[in-house]
Structure formats: structure tokens, C-alpha cells
Chains A and B, each alone.
Chain A
Amino acid sequence: MIEARSLTKRYGEKVAVDHLSFSVEPGKITGFLGPNGAGKTTTMRLILGLDHPSVGTVTVNGKPFEQLAQPMREVGALLDAKAVHGGRSAYSHLLCLAQTNNLPRRRVGEVLELVGLSEVAKKRSKGFSLGMGQRLGIAAALLGDPAILMFDEPVNGLDPEGIRWIRNLMKTLAAEGRTVFVSSHLMSEMENTADHLLVIGRGKLIADCTVAEFIARNSVSAVRVRTPQPEALVKAVTAAGGSAVPSADGDAIVVRGLYAEEIGDLAFDNAVRLHELAPAQASLEEAFMELTSSSVEFRAGVAEPSAGQPAHAGRGA
């Protein structure tokens, strides 16, 4: 369990992380989503104590990270796969990490086997491909067999094979009951892997919900309807609980809150002729882009619980 309370990091004038409060619950994959520069990496650095917070606290299993008795036994992190000394072999790299937490030497061989690097164990990591470097970083994270794993943009730059491998790995780890906290700037990536989402933009938390909730709340489905009898249709739609507004081009009506089938039936029942009935699903990627690019405005928007979903955003105050 990772818990942040009003976590804030300023670099001079710039606020990288702005009063973030959240908790990462055990036993599932929590996606940490936000555009590049939103503060995801900084947040992870704060969790690991690499950066000191300007304000607020963050704890892992109830303690600041640097107070954990054996950090590797509790948290395994991969922030930057390039953060290794390229002149050291994969084996020596993992060995020097394992020794800090008194892990047995054989564990190094086990994790090398696990990530498929046994054959290059004695090779200097300088010559590793991006995918091999990523596997080495994951091997390091797994060394202490920790219950919490943290990955920062683990699929960045990987080929489809590597991406699939990482996704399966995260699912396997979560299925074993581990907490997986993974960041990404790609909504599509999270759709496939995460159970829960933390969305941040400009250092602020803008959503904290399950993936299903996020989809329900943000991918508003709308139906475009064209009819020669707009008044009759609007009346019927409103009576049925939907909302209707003229479309941007002015020649149709955009209906929200009702499925296309329901609108078709309503039209039939009310003897309204339809010339067009077109469902338009805003893609999650679009919803996410809109949400994060105007995070400040969005926060103001969710402050009033309108969509019927509990608004978790900005609960950190």
C-alpha cells in the first residue's frame, strides 16, 4: 500500500507535483496516467525517497521508504532502465543490488532466468538492446520478491513483442496478489492492463477511479439524429430522460443519455420520421487528452457531482 498525503514537489518556481493525495491499493494494477511532464516520474521518485517532498508525505506500508527494514523485500521499482553502469555485467549489477538487502546470491540467477537474460548474464549491459535493458531493470525490481512493484513507462520504446511481454508480466504479478503501480502517458495502454486509474495533469490529481468508471464517466456516448420534426423528437427524448441539443453544424440534434435503439423506438412510438440516427462514441484517448490538457478546468467541472458517479477527483484537500 502506497499512500500520499498532499504530496508536493517544487523545482524553483515550477510545481511538478501539486498536493497529490492518493492511495495505491494492494493486489491490483493501478495505472498512473497523465501526459508527459504531468509529474508521474517525480511522484515515483518521491515515493522512493530519491527526491525530498517540498510539502506533504508519502509512505509505503505505513512508513517512509527510507525507513523500511529491507526495502527490496517490500518494493521493487523500475524507473529508468538506463540507470545502470554499462561497464558492469548483468550478473554483477544484480548481485551488487541483492547484497544490499542480504539476499542470497542464487536469487540473482533466478531472476535472470525469469526475465530470460541467463545467456547474457556475464555480458556488460552496455551492449544490451532497449528490450534487454528493460528486462534487466525488471529483474532488479523482482530480486527481493516484493509485494509492491512500481514501473515508470515500462513499454516506452519497446517493440510489440516486448510490450506484450511486459503486459503479461504485470498481469501475472497482479494475479499473484501483488500491487502493481505503473505509469503511462497512453490511455490505450492502461485500458488493456489496469484495474484502477490515477490520472494526473500538471501535477494535480484529476481522477481516481476504476477503469470502468473512468470509461463510463468520460467517454460520453452521444447520438446524432436528423429529423424533419425536431420539436416532437426533443420532447420525446426529454420525457424519456435524455438530453438534446442542436449539433454544432446546426442541422441535427445531439442526444445524450439514451442509446440509439431507444431513440429509434421513441421516434417510432411518436411517429417522428428520422433521416439519420448515428451513435458517436468519443474515444477514451480523446476523452483523456481533453481531460488532461485542461486539467484545471476539469477539476472545476467535477467539483459538482453531475454525472451520477461519485467524483473522487481532488479529494486530497
Chain B
Amino acid sequence: MAATTHLAPARPAGLPAPTGRAGFGGALRSELTKIRSVRSTYWTLLALVIVTVGIGTLACVGAVSHGGDVRGPGFDPTFHSLVGLILGQLIIVVLGGLTITSEYATGMVRTSLSVQPRRGTLFAAKAVVFAAVSLVTGLVASFASFFIGQAILSSKHLGTTLGQPHVLRAVIGGGLFLAVCGLLSFGLGAIFRHTAAAITGSIGLLFVLLILSNFLPQSWQNHVDKWVPFNAGSQIWSTVADPGTHMFSAWTGFAVFAGYAAIATAAGFILFRKRDA
């Protein structure tokens, strides 16, 4: 660093005359730069893919080596290969939460708002960029899990293909599921402005509610179970409805699940607008 920096004129090459407004396009590019320029993004996304694909692979290897007992009418080779999503969701919520809470933890949010004070623009750009990044990564994880899983299952003729009924929807649904999990955490991050709170809250909604619902009396479960976030959201990545349950159909369930994330994100947005930064 130069000891005595001589101040050159502040516009050596000059800036073009300002035209238009600082708007959504600029905010999108900025948020993309932000998410790409920190290492935690890459580590988290890499972990997401490895864990999702790894668990799916193990599950398929298990199914093949244990033989006949999985071959019942309820066996869903697609769901089986995507079972890693159950742990993948725990990783995407970390990134979803961090996307917004890291701005608070570092104080960056104050800098961000002093260059783009229109909070709706900033918040929407952040949500869109995060959703896009997590959807793309989610699809990669989901398709990779499917293809690897089916390759393993097909050795015992248990596999399926994308051409079979509902299979393509389920695999794409796996990516959608992860993106929505992340958005849920993003919304909670905006509400709590605290990383641990956002992640704990998301895991509570996705995991703990699922476990708690098992303790309900059977007659209640039939009415309540389908509303549990994980149950609603995971219908989209199965191709065979579990017999004897009262779950939503794939898209209805996904809409309910996305609704939860939308409520969290909308609440986060309202607070983001209203509160002092």
C-alpha cells in the first residue's frame, strides 16, 4: 500500500452520465456477484450435492444387497434414489438463512441499503438469485441422485427411467423441493436476522414437526399429517402414493409446502421494509 497516496482526480476516465434508475436488473447482478464471491456458497452447494447423492446412492446399494423385501408393490425406485433429499434439505436451509443473515452478521446490509435504498428491490433480487442458485443446484443433485441410483437398482432390475409415469416430475420436483426449503429458511432469516435462529427454525419446521406428528393419535394423524411441511413437500418426489395414507397429491402438496415458504418470505419482506436496518 502506498504510504502517501497522492489523490488523483476522482474521475480519471470519467463516468458516463447517469441514465435511468438503479433498479432490479442492477440489483440482480449485484446479488449474483455477492453469492458468487464468498466461499461459503461453494462449500455449502458442494456439500448439498455430495450429501444428497451420497445418501441416495447408499440407499440404492442397500436396496440391491438386501434383495427381495423391498420389491413389494409400494417400492418406489424414484423416491428411493432421491431419499438423500431428506438430508440435503438440512444443508440448503443453511445457505438460505445465510444469504440474508450474513448481511446482518457482518453489517453489510447497511452498506447494501446505502447504495440501493429501495428495500423491495434489494430483497426481491436477493430472493430471486438465491432461488435460482438453489434450484439449479437442487436439480443437479436430484438428477445425479436419480441416475446413479437407477444405475445401481437396475442391476437387480429394480430401476426405472425418466419415461415412466410421474418419474420426470418427481426428479424435477426434488430440485424444486430443495429450492423451496431454502426459501423457507431465507424468509425466516429475514424475520430473525440471526443465522442460528433461521437454521434452527427451518429444521424445526421441516424435521421436528415431522417427528412430532408421529406421536399424534391415528385419527388425528389422518387429518394433520398431510399438512406437515415435509409430508406436503415430499409428495412431489414420489411416484407411488403410499397406500393407506391421507396425503395430498404431488402438486397440491407442493403448493401447500411452497405456501409455507411464501408466508415466511412475505413476513420477512414486510419486516425488512419496516424495521430500521
Listed in ascending order, the chain A residues whose CB lies under 8 Å from chain B are 45, 48-52, 65-66, 68-73, 75, 77, 79-80, 82-89, 92-93, 95-97, 99-104, 106-107, 110, 113-117, 119-120, 132, 135, 140, 142, 144-145, 161, 165, 168-169, 172-173, 176
Contact = CB atoms under 8 A, between A and B. Distances in A.
B34 A80 contact: no
Contacts of A161: 3-4
B115 A84 contact: no
Contacts of B39: 87
Contacts of A102: 20, 22, 25-26
Contacts of A165: 4-5
Nearest to B11: A145
Contacts of B5: 114-116, 165
Contact of A85 (B4, B13, B106): B106
Interface in B1-53: 1-5, 7-13, 15-16, 18, 20-22, 25-27, 29-31, 33-34, 36-40
Given A66-B117, A89-B37, 8 more contacts: A49-B117, A50-B110, A66-B119, A72-B22, A92-B33, A96-B34, A100-B112, A132-B1
A92 B37 contact: yes
A119 to B, nearest CB: 7
A39 to B, nearest CB: 14
B116 interface: yes
B21 A69 contact: yes
Given A69-B22, A71-B114, A80-B110, A100 B37 contact: no
Contacts of A71: 22, 114-117
Nearest to B9: A176
B270 interface: no
A104 B12 CA distance: 13
Contacts of A113: 8, 12
26 contacts: A48-B114, A73-B15, A75-B114, A77-B114, A79-B110, A83-B108, A85-B38, A87-B38, A92-B34, A92-B36, A93-B37, A96-B34, A100-B27, A100-B112, A101-B22, A101-B115, A101-B116, A102-B25, A102-B26, A106-B13, A107-B15, A113-B12, A114-B10, A145-B15, A165-B4, A176-B10
Contact of B37 (A96, A107, A172): A96
B259 interface: no
Contact of A70 (B13, B22, B103): B22
Chain B CB within 10 Å — which of A50, A70, A96, A176 has the most?
A96
A86 B113 contact: no
Contacts, number: 146
Given A107-B15, A145-B11, A52 B276 contact: yes
Chain A CB within 10 Å — which of B22, B36, B118 has the most?
B22
B22 A100 contact: yes
Contacts of A101: 22, 26, 115-116
Contacts of B62: none
B212 interface: no
A114 B7 contact: yes
A99 B35 CA distance: 14
B146 to A, nearest CB: 33
Interface of B: 1-5, 7-13, 15-16, 18, 20-22, 25-27, 29-31, 33-34, 36-40, 102-103, 106-119, 276-277
Contacts of A142: 10
Nearest to B106: A85
A144 B114 contact: no
Given A80-B107, A100-B30, A173-B10, A50 B114 contact: yes
Given A114-B10, A116-B2, A88 B34 contact: yes
Contacts of A116: 1-2, 5
Given A99-B30, A99-B33, A145-B11, A50 B276 contact: yes
A87 B22 contact: no
Contact of B118 (A66, A119, A176): A66
A85 B36 CA distance: 13
A70 B30 contact: no
Contacts of A104: 15-16
Contacts of A172: 7
Contacts of B4: 161, 165
Nearest to A75: B114
A80 B114 CA distance: 11
A107 B116 CA distance: 18
Nearest to B16: A104
A45 B26 CA distance: 23
Contacts of B108: 83-85
Nearest to A171: B7
Chain A CB within 10 Å — which of B3, B39, B113 has the most?
B113
Contacts of B38: 85, 87-88
Contacts of B113: 48-50
A169 B7 contact: yes
B110 A96 contact: no
A173 B7 CA distance: 9
In the A-B complex, the 7 residue pairs with the smallest Cβ-Cβ separation, listed nearest first, are A83-B107, A92-B37, A66-B117, A116-B5, A99-B30, A96-B33, A99-B29
A51 B276 contact: yes
